[in-house]
Amino acid sequence: MHFYILTLFPEMVTNALHTSIIGKAAEKGILSIEAVNIRDFTKDRHQKTDDYPYGGGAGMVMQAQPIYDAYLSVADRIGKRPRTVYLTPQGSTFTQPAAKELAQETDLVFLCGHYEGVDERVLEEIVTDYMSIGDYVLTGGELAAMVVVDAVSRMVPGVLANEASAAMESFEGNLLEYPQYSRPAEWLGKKVPDVLLSGDHKKVELWRREQSILRTKRFRPDLLKKAELTIKEKAVYKVHDKMG
């Protein structure tokens, strides 16, 4: 999988994404992350990439030409017009199902905006998906692009050492993950729940399922409404979905 991030701050993106698990996956060649510097494509003799908004108003607007040429440099290289995500608070909210869906692509372009915005005409020309990482405003799209690249990358086969950890984690089946414990069995007077030391896999599985449901009920009741619970679980944990 190849990620191309169109940005005015390439080092911000490459430094962050070439560390830890994602960095290792890039080293192994499972994925690649390339920051494309929009400024390298400006035809302005002062290297300018923004200008005043028509109609007046505060701030500057990123111009269409450098962004379009940066995008074309990627499209020409890969021989197609790739799926292109514009990070904006106006987009649809990025979620785990969206991460899984994007992980099916082989090439993904991300456009990071700055200042007061981006000339609408270039967005119309290249953007296929408008995405937000939540209802708050960042100073630029870079952090949002990094969040999306990280979450999508770990859905790419081979990136996680233990594929099962992705199958059992939070949001799978709209439940949060159960609590985890490691050695020692007692720490600061706090004991690991007995069931986890019992060696009874069936009991452990039931306990974890229960913990997932109780946690989701407590911290994310909105999610629990969408979770797939058995009729018995709904009765035991007093969950009322739309069907009653």
Under rule CB under 6 A, residue 138 binds ligand ADE = yes
To the nearest whole angstrom, how small is the minimum distance from the Cβ of residue 23 to ligand ADE? 23
Nearest one of 92, 13, 119 to 22, comparing CA atoms: 13
Q: How many residues does the chain have?
A: 244
Q: Among 22, 31, 87, 159, which residue sits at the site for ligand ADE (rule: CB under 6 A)?
A: 87
Tokens for 101, please give them: 């869906």
To the nearest whole angstrom, how small is the minimum distance from the Cβ of residue 164 to ligand ADE? 31
Q: Identify whether the C-beta of residue 113 lies closer than 8 Å to the C-beta of residue 141.
A: yes
Under rule CB under 6 A, residue 109 binds ligand ADE = no
Q: Among 144, 146, 176, 229, which residue sits at the site for ligand ADE (rule: CB under 6 A)?
A: 144
Residue closer to ligand ADE (CB basis): 133 or 176: 133
Residue closer to ligand ADE (CB basis): 10 or 141: 141
Q: Among 46, 55, 124, 137, which residue sits at the site for ligand ADE (rule: CB under 6 A)?
A: 137
To the nearest whole angstrom, how small is the minimum distance from the Cβ of residue 137 to ligand ADE? 5
Q: Among 58, 136, 228, 243, which residue sits at the site for ligand ADE (rule: CB under 6 A)?
A: 136
**Separation CA 214–CA 210 (nearest Å):** 6
Nearest one of 159, 126, 131, 129 to 144, comparing CA atoms: 131
Under rule CB under 6 A, residue 99 binds ligand ADE = no
To the nearest whole angstrom, how small is the minimum distance from the Cβ of residue 147 to ligand ADE? 8
Q: Identify whether the C-beta of residue 157 lies closer than 8 Å to the C-beta of residue 192.
A: no
To the nearest whole angstrom, how small is the minimum distance from the Cβ of residue 24 to ligand ADE? 26
**Separation CA 33–CA 110 (nearest Å):** 11
Residue closer to ligand ADE (CB basis): 109 or 138: 138
Q: Per CB under 6 A, which region of 34-42, 47-55, 131-139, 230-238 contacts ligand ADE?
A: 131-139
Nearest one of 66, 52, 47, 51 to 6, comparing CA atoms: 66
**Separation CA 147–CA 141 (nearest Å):** 10
To the nearest whole angstrom, how small is the minimum distance from the Cβ of residue 133 to ligand ADE? 4
**Separation CA 86–CA 120 (nearest Å):** 11
| 3-state class (DSSP) for residue 62 | strand
**Separation CA 235–CA 228 (nearest Å):** 13
- Residue 191's φ and ψ, nearest 5 degrees, are -95, 145
How many residues bind to ligand ADE according to rule CB under 6 A? 11
Q: Among 89, 125, 155, 237, which residue sits at the site for ligand ADE (rule: CB under 6 A)?
A: 89
Q: Which residues bind ligand ADE (CB under 6 A)?
A: 87-89, 132-134, 136-138, 141, 144
